[in-house]
């Protein structure tokens, strides 16, 4: 007897077909969702620089170029002008304090001295005449007072005797009154003469004081003029080297004009120009170092000039400790100027990557060493050797610090 054979719904062939299709679909979906679609770039390891992120001592400093200058320079300015009549030394000569350098001639100053001397002599003569007149007046008034005192004593005796006689009715009232009037007259005359003597002495004293002040003033003017005449011989104010002399025989020099410079050669300072970006971080007392003849030397900032010119400001640094032997004026020094204290920090070496990224990201090498990925970072302080890492990296990680100019928009580097 025939029996009905039921057709299978999922034959093996169909199962294989559908399974294969599903697997392909899963693979496609996985590749679409989970695969790495970042742009890649193959680079050769021997053409890049890979460094390790380190943790250790870090000193922030900036490189600046300084110029050696004398510790002090004196300008030779003439207070009064004149014509150069003599040069005692030439430019470049070493001088001592007080050595003559130039001699000027000024006819006007010579005439002023003659005029002032005449005025002084005139006032001195007036002072002598006043003192003589005062002495004569004093002696005359004293003689008058002496005569009055003598007459007053005599008249007092007469007056007292007449008073007694008048009381006894031995003389007339007219005689007594005459004696009294004469006595009172002499008393009043004496007081008036004393007052005249006092006022005359006061007046003469004031007159003498004024004349003495006038003489002193004229004498001071004369001394000043003589000093101006002496200053026409320009002398060295210090011991040093005459580094410039801008005057020739017969040349007319104006008042206040600079004719040269003298440098103190016993010591030096260093003047450096710094970018205005650091003006708020540089102050007196900070230090810097430089290398000279294979030896390190230290400098200390003594003065900061706040004026900014062409985007830079200047500082003066003095040597701390030994001054290098053989150093010369005008010599350039490469200085490492410290901007902060030595501290522990996470750092990476400087490199060309910074010009491309601005320190905002970097390529970090994975543990396998075959790839490098972009990663955002945050940098802080810096010096000529390294950057301080504030965020985004850990100690021991490796990063690429060479230039990124040829990487374009690549997010992943394949290291060959």
Sequential DSSP letters for 246-304: ---TT-EE-TT-EEEEEE--S-EEEEEEEEGGGGGG--TT-EEEEEETTEEEEEEEEEE
Segment 80-109 shows an average pLDDT of: 86
pLDDT at 305 over 90: yes
Alpha-carbon gap, residue 39 to 315, rounded angstroms: 50
Domains of the chain (ranges; CATH) run 38-58+343-415 (2.40.420.20), 62-71+267-338 (2.40.30.170), 76-104+233-262 (2.40.50.100), 107-231 (1.10.287.1490)
Segment 76-103 shows an average pLDDT of: 87
Nearest to 140 by CA among 204, 188, 184: 204
The C-alpha angle 157, 158, 161, rounded to 5 degrees, equals 85
pLDDT on residue 33: 43
pLDDT at 38 over 70: no
Compare 250 and 341 and report the one with higher pLDDT.
250
**Cβ(371)–Cβ(415) under 8 Å?**
yes
Please give the C-alpha separations between residue 221 and each of 77, 84, 135, 256, in angstroms, as whole numbers.
22, 25, 30, 20
Segment 219-245 shows an average pLDDT of: 81
Model-level pTM? 0.53
Q: Count CA atoms within 13 Å of residue 299 on its CB side.
A: 29
For residue 336, how many other CB atoms are within 10 A of its CB? 19
Query: To the nearest whole number, what is the mean pLDDT of the chain?
Result: 83
Alpha-carbon gap, residue 305 to 272, rounded angstroms: 10
pLDDT on residue 118: 75
pLDDT at 86 over 60: yes
pLDDT at 303 over 60: yes
**Could you report the per-residue pLDDT of 163-213, keeping only the tens digit for each?**
888 888 888 888 889 888 888 888 898 888 888 888 877 877 787 787 777
Beta bridge mates, 84: 104
Which of 64-75 are b and which e, b meaning 16 or more Cβ less than 10 Å from the residue's Cβ? bebebbbbeeee
Q: Which of 53-57, 189-193, 197-201, 223-227 has the lowest mean pLDDT?
A: 223-227
Confidence of residue 34 (pLDDT cuts 50, 70, 90): very low
pLDDT on residue 364: 94
Nearest to 410 by CA among 372, 378, 379: 372
The backbone torsions φ and ψ at residue 282, rounded to the nearest 5 degrees and listed phi first, read -115, 130
Nearest to 74 by CA among 309, 236, 250, 192: 236
Q: Which of 84-93, 149-158, 208-217, 274-283 has the lowest mean pLDDT?
A: 208-217
Nearest to 212 by CA among 297, 283, 123: 123
Compare 118 and 53 and report the one with higher pLDDT.
53
Please give the C-alpha separations between residue 337 and each of 312, 331, 341, 343, 349, in angstroms, as whole numbers.
15, 18, 12, 16, 19
pLDDT at 257 over 90: no
pLDDT at 4 over 60: no
């Amino acid at each position: 007897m025939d029996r009905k054979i039921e057709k299978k719904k999922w034959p093996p062939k169909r199962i294989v077909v559908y399974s294969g299709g599903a697997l392909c679909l899963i693979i496609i979906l996985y590749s679409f969702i989970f695969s790495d679609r970042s742009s890649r770039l193959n680079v050769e390891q021997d053409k890049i620089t890979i460094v390790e992120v380190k943790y250790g001592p870090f000193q922030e400093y900036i490189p600046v170029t300084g110029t050696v200058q004398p510790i002090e320079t004196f300008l030779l300015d003439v207070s009064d002008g004149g014509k150069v009549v003599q040069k005692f030394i030439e430019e470049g000569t070493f001088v001592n304090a007080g050595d003559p350098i130039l001699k000027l001639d000024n006819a006007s100053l010579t005439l002023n001295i003659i005029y002032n001397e005449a005025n002084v002599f005139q006032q001195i003569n007036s002072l002598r005449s006043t003192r003589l007149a005062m002495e004569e007046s004093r002696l005359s008034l004293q003689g008058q007072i002496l005569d009055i005192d003598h007459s007053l004593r005599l008249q007092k005796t007469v007056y007292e005797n007449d008073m007694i006689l008048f009381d006894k009715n031995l003389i007339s009232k007219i005689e007594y009154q005459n004696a009294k009037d004469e006595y009172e007259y002499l008393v009043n005359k004496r007081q008036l003469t004393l007052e005249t003597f006092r006022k005359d002495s006061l007046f003469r004293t004031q007159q003498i004081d004024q004349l003495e002040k006038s003489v002193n003033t004229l004498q001071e003017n004369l001394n000043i003029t003589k000093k101006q005449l002496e200053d026409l011989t320009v002398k060295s104010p210090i011991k040093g080297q005459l580094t410039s002399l801008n005057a020739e025989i017969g040349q007319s020099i104006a008042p206040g004009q600079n004719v040269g410079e003298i440098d103190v050669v016993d010591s030096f300072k260093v003047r450096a120009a710094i970018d205005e970006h650091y003006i708020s971080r540089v102050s007196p007392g900070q230090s810097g170092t430089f290398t000279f003849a294979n030896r390190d030397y230290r400098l200390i900032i003594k003065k900061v000039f706040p004026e900014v010119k062409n985007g830079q400001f200047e500082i003066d640094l003095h040597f701390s400790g030994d001054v290098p032997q053989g150093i010369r004026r005008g010599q350039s020094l490469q200085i490492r100027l410290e901007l902060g204290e030595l501290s522990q920090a996470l750092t990476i070496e400087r490199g060309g990557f910074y010009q491309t990224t601005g320190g905002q990201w970097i390529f970090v090498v994975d543990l396998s060493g075959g790839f490098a990925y972009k990663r955002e970072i945050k940098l802080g302080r810096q010096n000529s050797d390294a950057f301080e890492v504030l965020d985004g990296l850990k100690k021991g990680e490796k990063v690429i610090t060479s230039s990124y100019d040829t990487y374009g928009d690549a997010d992943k580097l394949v290291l060959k």
